[in-house]
Amino acid sequence: MSVEVATELVTYLSVVSGIAPVLQMYKSGNTRNVPFLFFVIGELLASSCISYGLLTENLVILRINLVVLFFNTSYILIYLYVVRSKSAALRQIVFCLAVIVSILVYLRYFSTSKQQSIAVFGTILLIGSSVLNVTPALEVWECIKQKTAAGISIPMMFAYLICCGLWLTYGLSLKDFNIYAPNVIGLATHGSKALAILMYGRQSLPHTD
């Protein structure tokens, strides 16, 4: 199996690993430590990747991110259904939608060539992927404050550790900084979640929204 095929398959597994914490949230009504910001930024990134895949005629990127878009949209909608105070979540969604619209307006009215559009999306993907891979650090910070790692989803943590490792390998094989650099960050942040579990254990906290 090639690195490209393995990377695609593990990316799908990483995306569906979000089902476990979201399903638990739906059953319990408890949104504590659900990585909502991770899902929202993932939605923004997937939308950009779909446009990038169309521009570059890269069916792998297009296929992966259509799946990512579907699952992240589902996770976001379920979160909005469960969470009691929706204002903060809606602000994050509106911000990401504004970013997407701004990008599309720029490309529609100011981009002068296909290559320029591809370059713009390459920069967006580098920044977006880096930000996405930083967000797990927020979960680690919560663990430090609460002195427990009960809110960390172990399936998601392992899935994304493997996923980042494969994307790093894939990016290095292509010598593509935009691909491998964000995944160095991802390995560090998801690895820190594993360290938090070892340090604090998984003792449950009282129910809150």
Residue 10 domain-assigned (yes or no)? yes
How confident is residue 179, by pLDDT bands cut at 50, 70 and 90?
Answer: confident
Q: What is the DSSP string of 30-83?
A: --TT--HHHHHHHHHHHHHHHHHHHHHT-HHHHHHHHHHHHHHHHHHHHHHHH-
Task: Report pLDDT for 78.
Answer: 96
The number of domains in the chain is 1
Residue 207 domain-assigned (yes or no)? no
Residue 206 domain-assigned (yes or no)? no
How confident is residue 7, by pLDDT bands cut at 50, 70 and 90?
Answer: confident
Task: Report pLDDT for 52.
Answer: 81
* Residue 164, pLDDT above cutoff 80: yes
Residue 153 domain-assigned (yes or no)? yes
Residue 135 domain-assigned (yes or no)? yes
Instruction: Choose the weakest-confidence range: 42-46, 102-106, 153-157, 201-205.
Output: 201-205
174-193 mean pLDDT: 90
Average pLDDT score, the chain: 88
Task: Report pLDDT for 12.
Answer: 93
How confident is residue 5, by pLDDT bands cut at 50, 70 and 90?
Answer: confident
Residue 84 domain-assigned (yes or no)? yes
User: Which is more confident, 126 or 208?
Assistant: 126
* Residue 208, pLDDT above cutoff 70: no
Task: Report pLDDT for 202.
Answer: 79
Q: Long-range CB contacts (< 8 A, 24+ apart) of 71-78?
A: 71/15, 71/16, 71/18, 71/19, 72/15, 72/18, 72/39, 72/40, 72/42, 72/43, 72/46, 73/43, 74/22, 75/18, 75/22, 75/39, 76/36, 76/39, 76/40, 76/43, 78/22, 78/25, 78/26
Task: Report pLDDT for 192.
Answer: 95
Q: Which residues constitute the domain of residue 93?
A: 3-200
Residue 209 domain-assigned (yes or no)? no
Residue 205 domain-assigned (yes or no)? no
What percentage of the chain exceeds 90 in pLDDT? 41
Please enumerate in sequence order all residues whose Cβ is within 8 A of that of 119, keeping only pairs 6 or more positions apart, or say none.
Answer: none
Task: Report pLDDT for 205.
Answer: 59
Please enumerate in sequence order all residues whose Cβ is within 8 A of that of 146, keeping only pairs 6 or more positions apart, or say none.
Answer: 200, 205
